[in-house]
Structure 1
Amino acid sequence: MGWLKRTLYFVVFLAFIATFYSLTSIRRQNNVIKTPEVVEQTTKDVETREEEVKKQTATPAIDRNTKTPPTKSSSSSSSKFRKIEGYMDVNSGEVLALDCGSCAFVGSSGHILNSAAGTEIDSHDCVFRMNGAIVRGFEKDVGRRTTVRIVNHNGGVVFNPRGRRSKYFEEEKSDHLVVWGPPQKTPILKPMLVDLVKHYPYLKAFTMTKEKIIALDKQFERETGKDRFKSSSWLTTGWFAFDIVLKACRDNVVVYGLPPGDYCDSAEGAKTFIRYHYYEEGGSECSYYKGHTHHRFAAEKIIYARWAKTRGNVSFRFPSWNLTQIDTSQVKF
């Protein structure tokens, strides 16, 4: 009977082993082979995860007309950006860099009133304005947007509102502020601009280097044949603004609200009253031009016409300039 028990135990053992291997094989097949419904669901899960990643990493589009301040680029590595040497960020020390295809350079003359040019101005990639030229109340004629505002060193109404919020940055959301002035003014200007940027973190503020001031003085002498100091000439904000615009803009430049140099000597100029600033009551443009003994308004505008002819992509509107009829060979004070 002993051999019979051993045989029975051996048969039970073999049956156990066979059952074990059978179950293991079934599990392997279940792990490898999936039904079409499972495959389809797995594929959908993967695609869903990929879409979520794309949404998280996508760069949001910027609406140029929105009131929300655009995100400032901390780098000008893109080939579209142009660096304008001589203008330094008051916080980072970086050189002014702008990404501008077409540009609107908006002057402050009363000529621009009733032009209905606002939409056209805002359609440009970059919009440049000068000093205290406000837009509120004049949007139909001058537009709403401001990319760069260029201000002289006495323009404290713009950048130093004495503890109040500045309307120039509350309403317009300017991206860049450039303040020009003699080098000795920089230690005074810089703290005010640093404080301004604290109120408006999306704003970048720049001052000019001593080397840039000297370079623009020499440029004036080359263009006019006269030393600026010996001739007691004061450069206008327009001179500095043109320097930035011509260097920043890759494509076309349209200048609005800037009369030609001979306008005040014309019959129309003699009989027509035009505001010196479109946003201020009173003040005849031609009376101011002829009465100022240091600003060389007419001379500068002949030079602007010269630059426009050389560049070939600069035009003037409201009023228009007939560049072919402007003699730019000589500059008279």
Structure 2
Amino acid sequence: HITPLKMHCQTCALVTSSGHLIGGGRGVEIDRAEGYARDVGRRTSLRVIAHSSMQRVLRNRHELLNVSQDTVFIFWGPSSYMRRDGKGLIYNNLRLMNQVLPKLKVYIISWQKMLQFDELFKKETGKDRRISNSWLSTGWFTMTIALELCDRINVYDSGPECKTSSHHSVPYHYYEPRGPDECAMYISHERGRRGSHHRFITEKRVFAKWARTFDIHFYQPDWISNSF
């Protein structure tokens, strides 16, 4: 049964997986909003998950079980993966997951919404993400969803600038301390022209621009929007 998501919050804490969150001690502050506990909080009101993470989530069901029953999960992926005619890989997996865990609140981003997000990216950057052979990131989907659901958004994430000679090295994911360097990943994806890439730095510059119009605030580290 397909129903649209209906949710509204006054203040949302948008928490990414950035290694910059390590050691910040922002957990209590994050939990106070409506949406590694000491640094990233314990509450999850809404979680956005990429199609590429589907199998990992299925293999580690504790990621779904160790959350509040009020948590909403939103999955995104190519329209071909979300087909409802028996050929949609992600849609089929979500139906199976719903049978095993019927109390989970699971939604998918429709292909119409995906097209809207593509057009928004093109409008803001002047670039067609398909022509540039890139994918919008989970962060892009999360931010644009939050703009629709939240009056104020507090973002806990790294900024859009990376300087290879002087930047402070942090892991790409806070929960993988020995994983790849965050800036190295950002630069690699931003410069990539073959294969599938995200334009993390471009997206974050758009977010900084939006902060001048919308009630968006950046923490851990603090972004100084006037510098962009």
Instruction: Compute the TM-score of the two structures, normalised by the length of structure 1.
Output: 0.61
Q: How does 1:135-284 map to 2 (within 5 A)?
A: 138-161=36-59, 166-173=61-68, 175-186=71-82, 187-250=88-151, 252-256=152-156, 258-262=157-161, 264-265=162-163, 268-269=166-167, 272-280=168-176, 281-284=178-181
Separation of aligned partners in 1, 2:99 and 2:28:
31
1:189 offset after TM fit, Å?
1.4
Q: Is the 8 A contact 2:57 2:64 kept in 1?
A: no
1:159 offset after TM fit, Å?
4.0
Structure 1 residue 125 corresponds to structure 2 residue 125: no
Give the one of 107, 131, 147 matched to 2:16.
Answer: 107
Q: Is the 8 A contact 1:158 1:168 kept in 2?
A: no
Separation of aligned partners in 2, 1:154 and 1:266:
28
What SS does the corresponding residue of 1:145 show, helix, strand or coil? coil
Q: Is the 8 A contact 1:148 1:177 kept in 2?
A: yes
Q: Which runs of 5+ in 1 are unaligned?
A: 1-91, 127-137, 327-333
Amino acid at match of 1:150: V
Considering fraction of residues, name the structure with more helix.
1
Bigger Cα displacement from structure 2, 168-177 vs 280-289? 168-177
Could you tell me the percent identity over the aligned residues? Answer: 34
1:177 offset after TM fit, Å?
0.8
What SS does the corresponding residue of 2:205 show, helix, strand or coil? helix
What SS does the corresponding residue of 1:98 show, helix, strand or coil? coil
Deviations 1:231-274 (A, max 9, x none): 22221111111111111012x21001x21111x127641xx211
What SS does the corresponding residue of 1:144 show, helix, strand or coil? coil
Alpha-carbon RMSD across the aligned residues, in angstroms, is 1.7
Structure 1 partner of 2:198: 295
Q: Which runs of 5+ in 2 are unaligned?
A: 83-87
Deviations 1:158-209 (A, max 9, x none): 5422xxx611122123621111011100122122212323333332111121
Separation of aligned partners in 1, 2:174 and 2:55:
17
Give the one of 324, 328, 331 matched to 2:226.
Answer: 324
Separation of aligned partners in 2, 1:157 and 1:98:
27
Instruction: Compute the TM-score of the two structures, normalised by the length of structure 2.
Output: 0.88
Structure 2 partner of 1:305: 208
What SS does the corresponding residue of 1:101 show, helix, strand or coil? strand
Amino acid at match of 1:323: S
Amino acid at match of 2:77: G
1:321 offset after TM fit, Å?
0.4
Separation of aligned partners in 2, 1:156 and 1:102:
28
Greater length-normalized contact order (CA 8 Å, ≥ 6 residues apart): 2
Larger Rg, first or second structure (1 or 2): 1
Q: Is the 8 A contact 1:176 1:203 kept in 2?
A: yes
